[in-house]
Amino acid sequence: MSENNNIKKWYESEGEKSDVVISTRIRLARNLNGYPFPHLMSYDQMKEVNQKVRDALMGGNSALRDSFRYIEAEKATAVELASLAERHLISPEFASNPKGRALLLMNDESVSIMLNEEDHLRIQVMGSGLQLEKAYDMADKIDTLLDETLNFAFDEELGYLTACPTNLGTGMRASVMLHLPASESDGTLRRVAASLDKIGATIRGSYGEGSQSVGAMYQISNQVTLGISEKDTISNLTEITSRIIDLEKKCRARLLESESYQDSVWRALGILKSARVMSSEEFVRLYSALRVGVAEGLVSGMTLGRLGEAYESVQPARLMEKYGESMNSSQRDKKRAELLREIFRETDIA
């Protein structure tokens, strides 16, 4: 699997409202007429669909032919697949069942198209910070380009036809990943979360519904896909997100007045700058504390974009991909600490 290491990846830049919003994602589910949905497809049919989509995107006349690379999932190693899943470019389910599946990946990794996951195509656009409209525009552009040659399954009443009826209609899931340490710690978030489903949105901890959020990262997304347009879905979600950002900012302002909170930020920096061994669990905790410090100006010599890059670079599969697939967890913990010391060398108390 060749990589374009010299191209700046989407998560290395910071976007709108990035003090609270980590990333934005738009996903469109699309299917081709005349084939069963992936759970019923034969291996040969999967290959056929892969080829059709690949030709549509990377064929002679396509405006995007040079922007993508094609990755056959079954030819990638387990570590490569895990690393793609860590970066949310494929789902963990896709990574664990690679047979007959493929991925079309844009060079800056902002667009990935999973082939033969739950649907024939899952077009995904990721961006840093809050940029739902921009991400949708990109997804829409790619969808329109593919629709020129592929015969997408569509029904006037049901919209885009999907393997699971929950995605009928627009086939779109719009999500934002938020960092909400302050509103989480004082209980504000719990009250807000309870009311979200009444307005058509869901909130989950970064490791799923019912699970404790890790590093105060939460994902908010739209629930309904039928009977509401893409534009309205996005403006609803943007509105909801803006309100949660306001809440978080208010809670942060209160919290930052306390000396013990400031102390926790600087302690996190101290450990990141000096530790010799660092597990990923500990890293996520420290990352969460430090992210607020960088966002609120308590720390100098670090940007949110570089922090995002640091986060991706010390994930387990990423480390193995770069420094040896045979690394065990204690070797990784040492390597992680070493990289972090280097990354935060110039970072200091503001």
Partner 1 sequence: MLCEKCKKNEATAYIKTNVNGDVHEYHLCGECAAEMQNSGAFGSMFNAFSAFEGIDHLFSPMMSGFDMVSSLLSSPFGSFGAMPSLTSGKRCSVCGSDFRSIADSGKVGCPNCYTEFKSRLAPTIKKIHGNTVHCGKHSKVTTQESRENETAELKKQLAEAVRTENYELAAELRDKIKAMEA
- E-strand stretches of the chain: 21-30, 68-72, 102-106, 111-115, 121-128, 154-155, 159-160, 172-179, 201-205, 217-222, 299-300, 348-349
- Check residue 209 for interaction with partner 1 (CB under 8 A): yes
Q: Which is nearer to partner 1, 138 or 153 (CB)?
A: 153
Q: Which is nearer to partner 1, 205 or 305 (CB)?
A: 205
Considering only 150-158, 235-243, 254-262, 330-338, which stretch makes contact with partner 1 by CB under 8 A? 150-158
User: CA separation (Å) from 200 to 111, 138, 193, 195, 240?
Assistant: 26, 24, 12, 10, 10
Q: Which is nearer to partner 1, 70 or 152 (CB)?
A: 152
- Check residue 66 for interaction with partner 1 (CB under 8 A): no
Half-sphere exposure of 289 (CA within 13 A, CB side): 17
- Check residue 163 for interaction with partner 1 (CB under 8 A): yes
- Check residue 158 for interaction with partner 1 (CB under 8 A): yes
CB of 250 to partner 1, least distance (A): 25
What is the C-alpha separation between 133 and 146, in angstroms, rounded? 20
Give the residue, chosen from 183, 206, 264, 288, that forms a contact with partner 1 under the rule CB under 8 A: 206
What is the C-alpha separation between 162 and 155, in angstroms, rounded? 11
- Check residue 151 for interaction with partner 1 (CB under 8 A): yes
Phi/psi of residue 181, each to 5°?
Answer: -65, -35
- Check residue 118 for interaction with partner 1 (CB under 8 A): yes
What is the C-alpha separation between 290 and 286, in angstroms, rounded? 6
- Check residue 169 for interaction with partner 1 (CB under 8 A): yes
- Check residue 37 for interaction with partner 1 (CB under 8 A): yes
Give the residue, chosen from 128, 131, 162, 241, that forms a contact with partner 1 under the rule CB under 8 A: 162
- Contacts for 303 with CB less than 8 Å, ≥ 6 apart: 14, 294
Q: Which spans of this chain sit near partner 1 (rule: CB under 8 A)?
A: 25, 27, 31-37, 39-40, 85, 88, 91-93, 118, 124, 140, 143-144, 147-148, 151-170, 172-173, 175, 177, 204-211, 219, 221, 224-231
